[in-house]
Every structure is written in C-alpha cells, then in structure tokens.
Amino acid sequence: MRLHSIYARFYRSLNYDFVRASDENYVPDPWDGTPAGNYPFVRIRLRPGITTIVGANESGKSQVLRAVEAALTGDGFDRSDFCRYSRFFGIDKTLTSPEFGALYTDLTADDLRVVESMASLGTLSGVDRIAIFRMNDTPVLRVYARGGSDGVWSPPANVKTPTALARLGVPVPFRIDADVPLPDSVPIEFLATGTKVAGVGREILRTIWDGLVTNSKWFDTDTSVQTNASSISALFSAARAATPDEIKKYELAADLLLKVAGIQRELFTELQTAVRTKNGYANSIVDTINTQLSRALDFPHWWSQDSHFELFVSLYEFDLVFMIRDRTGRTYGFDERSDGMKYFLSYFVQYLAHEPRRDERPEILLMDEPDRFLSSSGQQDLLRVFEDFADPKDANRTPVQVVYVTHSPFLIDKNEADRIRVLEKGEFDEGTRVVSNSSANHYEPLRSAFGSFVAETAFIGNCNLMVEGASDQVLIAGASRWLKSRGESARDRLDLNHITIVPAGGTRHIPYLVYLARGRDVDKPPVVVLLDNDKAGDSARADLAVGGAYGAKLIDESLVLQLGQGSLTSLKSSNPLGVVGIEDLIPIDVALSAAALYCREFVPAIDVPSLQIDGATIFPAGDETASVEPKNEGTLKYLQKRLAELSGMPDFHLDKVAFARATIDVLTSNPAVPPPSAADVELAAHNFKILLAEVSLRQRQAERAESVEKISSRINRAKRDFTRTHHDQARKEDVADLIEEISNQLDNSPESEEVRASMRGWRHQFHLDTDPRSLVEDFPGLVRAIESLAYQSLRQGSERGSLRA
C-alpha cells in the first residue's frame, strides 16, 4: 500500500480548494460534503519517492507538513487550528476542528483483508484505492473504497478498530531536526553513561585554573576559605548542568559515534579511566574511534565541496572535540567552520543513524526548510541524501517516502519536475491552493514563489547552454527528463541541476549573450551554444567566430553546435527538406499528437484526430525540375499551414512554446490524445539522445577548459609573486609555503588533483623535508618545475583531446 495523496480542509491557511469549487464542471468527491454544501479539500499529491513543496513566504508550506502528520496520526491539531477566515469559524457547531484525509493506492490482498475487518465493508474484491478521513461529524474516522470498472467510491464506513491502521501499514511520519547542529565537543561521561552533564571544555578549565593561581591565598587557612566563600563559589559556577539544547546536540553526537560508527559504550568507559592513568592507551582508543568513524562516514562521497574532507575526534581531558581536516591538510575546530558544515553533518548523521521501525511499518520523512544554513553546493549534496532515503543504494536500508519544503531553487531537482508542488495563497477567504500545472508550465509558478527563479538565471557558475528561444529550452529540458525516465545513460542526456538553459529570445541575440557571459569579466563561466540550421544560425556562428571587442575570442568553435551540421548530421527528420529547427527532431506522428493536445487546450474548435491528416501531405512535394531548392520552413510551420487549411481557419497559430510543452506531454504518455506510433517514439528518443549526448560532451569540454584556465591563472599569479621575491635562490621552507599557497587556491577537479600530485613530487625531487631552512640546491630546476606546472593542465587537456580525436 502506498500513500498517494493528503487532503486538508479548514486547517489554518488550507481552507478549501476554491479554484475547484468555482469550476462549473466541479463534481464533488464523497468526502466534500458539509452541512452547508460541498467544500472540496485541498489535495497534495505525493510522489512514491520524493515530493518537494515550494511557495512564497506565508504560503502555507510548513502547514502542509503538519497536515501530513495530522492525516496519518490524528494528532498535532486542535480547535485553535481551525481556519480563521473560514465562513464557519466560530459559527457552525458541527464544524469545529480541521479535517484531514489520506488516499492510498497499490493495495494488496492482505491490505484489503485488514480494511474489511476494521470497517465491516464486506468483500472488497477489485478495489484499487482506499481513502481514510478524520472528520467532525460521525463517523469521525471513516474509510472509503473505490473499485470496479466505473471507479465509484463506496459510502463512508466507520473504522471500528483504529489500532488496525498500524496493521494496515499507514506510514509513520518522522523528521530530521533542521535546528540541531553537531556540537563542537561532547562530554565523554555522556557517551559512556548517558548522564546529562555539560561539557567541561578548555575555557572552563582555564577560567578555574587561572582563578586558583591568581587567588591562591584564598586557600591558605580555614578562615580565608570562609571569608572568600562567595568568590570561590563564583569561580566554580562555570561548571553547570547541560541545557536542553545542548542535550540534543550531545544526543546527535552520540548517534554518530554509537549508532553510525558502531562504537560500544564500554569503550568510552575505558577511555575515561585511561585519561587519568594511561595517556598512551587513551590515545590508542581515540585512534580506534577515528578509524571506525572514517570507515562508517565515507563523507567525501557526499560532500562535493572537498573530496579530502575528514572528520575526526581529539581527546581533551573530559571531552571529545570534533575536528576537521580539509584538502589543505590543515586541522580546524568545529567552532572555526561555517554553520553550513555543522548543519549538513547534522542532517547526514541523522540520515545514517536512522533505523527502520521494529514493527516494519513504512515511514515518511518530513523536513521543513533544510536550506536555511546550507550553501548552494551543500543543498545539492543534501538532495543526494534525500535520494538515498527514497531509493537507497544499500540493500539493507528500507526506502522512505520523503516530503520537504524549501525556499531555495538549489534544493529543487530540475531533472524531476513532477516532484514539485507549488503553493499559492489566494485573497481573503480563498486560502492556500496547490498549483496544478507547475511542471507543465515550465516552472512559471516557481518564479512567483521565489521572486525570481535563480537556478535558471545565466552566469551563476553552472555551464550555460545558449539556445535561440523558450521552445528550445522547454524541449531540451523535457526531453532530458523523458530520457531519464526511460533509463537512458547519463551521458545521453543532461543533468539539469548542473547546466543552465538560457533562451536568447532570437538567434541575433546569442552572440551578445555570449559576450555578456564571457567577454567582460575575469571569471568566464563555461558556455555551449546551440543554433538552428538556417541563415540566421549561420550568421550567428560567423559572429561568434569573429569574437568580441578587439577581436578577443569569446568561445571555442567546437563549443558551438548547429542542428544538421557536423556531429549532428545523423539526426533524422520526417521533414524531407531536412533539419532546420529543433521541432524537426520530432517525428510527424508525435507532432500530430502534440498538435491534437494543443488544440484540445487552446483551440477546441479544431479536432485534429478527426481531420485524419496524412503525414506525407504536410510537407511540400519535391519538384525535381525546379532549379532552386524550396526554402525549408520547418515542421512546425508546415504543420500549422496544413491545420489551418483543413480546419478552414486561415488565422490558426501553432504557438512554439505551447507546442513544445505538448510534445513532452505526449512523449511522457499523456492519455488525453491518441498515442503516436511506437516507431516514431523510438525515433524521437534516437534524435534527442544524439542531440543531448553532443551537448553533454561539449558541456564537459567547456567545464574542463574553464577549470584548466583557472588553474593556470592561479599558478601563474603565485609563480610571479614567488619569482619576484626569490630571484636566484630560495629556502626549502619557502617552496613548502608556495606548495601550500597553490594547493589552497585549487578546487576539487581532477586537473587540480593532478597539479597537487606533481607538487608532492617536488618534496622528493628538491629534498624539501631535509633541513627546511637550507637553500634549494637546484634552483633553476625548481623554476622550470614551477613554470611547467602552470601549463600542465593545458598540456594534459590537449593530449586527451588528441586521443579523443
């Protein structure tokens, strides 16, 4: 049994679905009734894996999470949560509390037997859905069943044994606490016994010791002790009991060490004893703890910002202090790092420490705005944690349904548009509604929810794919998601979280957009260009080859793709004149279905299937005697003309963006129109795989080129500073400082790691670890090595390029 939807009505801002209620074709569900008429519930459909709730401030996002808990458990709400602007607030004697429901699908025979027994519904053969609602009037806890070919819901049946909901497998909600970071340190006493003591810490010990040394006369006699009793008491008052917030942090640290790392409490008891008597043994125990911790965390796999990141503990008398070692090899305390690191570790530890329920009931994870403390990269890493909750790579972990709310565009997986649920708050008594077409409308409601959809803004660090118009953007993004749903290789599609598709608003604007991205600043984001195969595309390609101001080259020619040219000549089209625009990649059977869907929505007077259009009649007939080849106007234009002709509507317009959206709907099996032939669907997959594989290849090349350029630039700056201050000699320790300086400026790319590996070789080549204060013997060789290092990535990039060629 799977949780499919959550319903809420009269709960805070979730008043009722006012849009559905105002529809003249509204057909009430059996649970929509009230003493004053039908009021449809606000419905939130949940994905089997991950559901993302987004919306503007005060749109009711957090209330959705509480509504999920209330619908599943019946707890967490009371009369004070009734919608304040509902017409029933404080007036109706029967409608006094909010109402909730949950709809379930994928029912098994065992599930149906439990429903039959708990509600006396009789035999439920053929039932495919059940809905369990918590209402004001009797029956308060009720169940509905839907079955048969007509899909009719049964009347409500009283749930006589609510405890049977656990046997039925109603999911149990749990949360990752987004407000509890990993602490800087944890008392060993807490780990050994669970006693809720506060950490002693270096500051407290130093305060007490300084007080004792400075005021040693306080303890000369009994009289002096009595005289200074208040001062002595104040000195030791720093040692205190742990606060509730500290206890939460310590419990998180204990989960990390006891559950995740698998260390037994007895080892911490031994550590307490060893600290007092055997320092060597105590350090060996700490080494064992760190070995277990490193093996259990595998943190570099999850934290993309530093592949050499290491979390370990250090012993400080009464506490274990959490420490970090990063790619520079330096060690930092937790109090020296950003909150983002602490909170991501908190989420990660709670993920690893989560254990399935002993009663084997399914669970649903709820998380409220986990983006508050994380950088954009950290949010992308957290997405991978959510993915592993929902679809674990470890066969021993149980999949968990995930629902989270966010303000951030970086916590949205753009490869999975159907995960997104956008909330919008109406005016006056309308309350919060769920926007029904957020993914189909290509994130347009998200722009309102976020103010501006930052993740689709150019030049923010992602690779930018410059395309001619919004229809290219919709088709490329939609086709990539469609190919992913078909299980195609990641190299044959795009990761939409790591590439920004930028519509230029016309071919003539592309060179200027490329100039804006790469022609003005020192930092030049990676850019790939996709052009149509027409005169305007040829002109734009020529302009890009000329370059920017003063002839400066803006983009390598290999990063400019043109449909039907070069590596894209293998694209196949139903258009006999060949590929001119991206719509020509759409086989004619798919295009006709998309046109039918478009007309059904925007031009209902045209019934495309009834026109029985022959694909062969859409395109102009060839004339072998003609001396000049006819102009290729493209599949979209020819289809528009044919539909206008057959429908008798000469002004008919087939909008490019709406047609692109309809095409993706058809490919993702929209049941509203007759499906295209399987052969044409496969042809569409063939074409988009070729296109997206080439774009993906150019993306990798552009990102590598930019990484190499940055590396060379940074090394050259360090080299100039070094050679300016060291004309003909240098101490070995100065070279070690240079290595550290260059290493600190590099990122985590493979090219950077190769540079670091070369610098590690200098230690042996120039004997840097022998007498660091002495001079480097082969100074000319050192200069040559530094100069070679600056262009190492460029050389290796050229070698790889020649191997690919």
Each residue's pLDDT tens digit, 167-218: 999 999 999 988 888 888 899 999 999 888 776 655 666 677 777 788 888 8
The SS3 of residue 55 is: strand
pLDDT of 34 over the 50 cut: yes
Residue 58, class by beta-carbon neighbours within 10 Å (0-12 exposed, 13-18 middle, 19+ buried)?
exposed
Helices (H), 505-634: 510-518, 535-546, 588-602, 608-611
Percent of the chain with pLDDT over 90: 46
pLDDT of 802 over the 60 cut: no
**pLDDT tens column, 518-557:** 876 656 789 999 999 999 999 999 999 887 655 667 888 9
Q: What's the CA gap between 649 and 638, in Å, rounded?
A: 15
- The pLDDT-based confidence of 219 (bands split at 50, 70, 90) is confident
How large is the average pLDDT for residues 507-513? 89
pLDDT at site 623: 56
The residue among 18 and 616 whose pLDDT is bigger is: 18
pLDDT at site 239: 56
pLDDT at site 102: 98
pLDDT at site 627: 58
Nearest to 494 by CA among 505, 482, 504: 482
pLDDT of 799 over the 60 cut: no
pLDDT of 442 over the 60 cut: no
pLDDT at site 625: 55
Positions of E strands within 121-164: 127-134, 141-147, 152-153, 157-158
pLDDT of 435 over the 70 cut: yes
pLDDT at site 713: 76
- 379 phi/psi in degrees, rounded to 5: -70, -40
Axis crossing angle, helix 779-790 with helix 750-765, rounded to the nearest 10:
170
**pLDDT tens column, 73-86:** 999 999 999 999 89
pLDDT at site 521: 60
pLDDT at site 59: 80
pLDDT at site 115: 93
348-371 in b/e form (b: 16+ CB < 10 A) is bbbbbebeeeeeeebbbbbbbbbb
How large is the average pLDDT for residues 718-746? 85
pLDDT at site 457: 46
Q: What's the CA gap between 385 and 403, in Å, rounded?
A: 13
pTM over 0.75: no
Average pLDDT of the chain to the nearest whole number:
86
The SS3 of residue 559 is: helix
Most confidently predicted of 2-11, 280-289, 789-798: 2-11
Cβ pair 218, 224 in contact under 8 A: yes
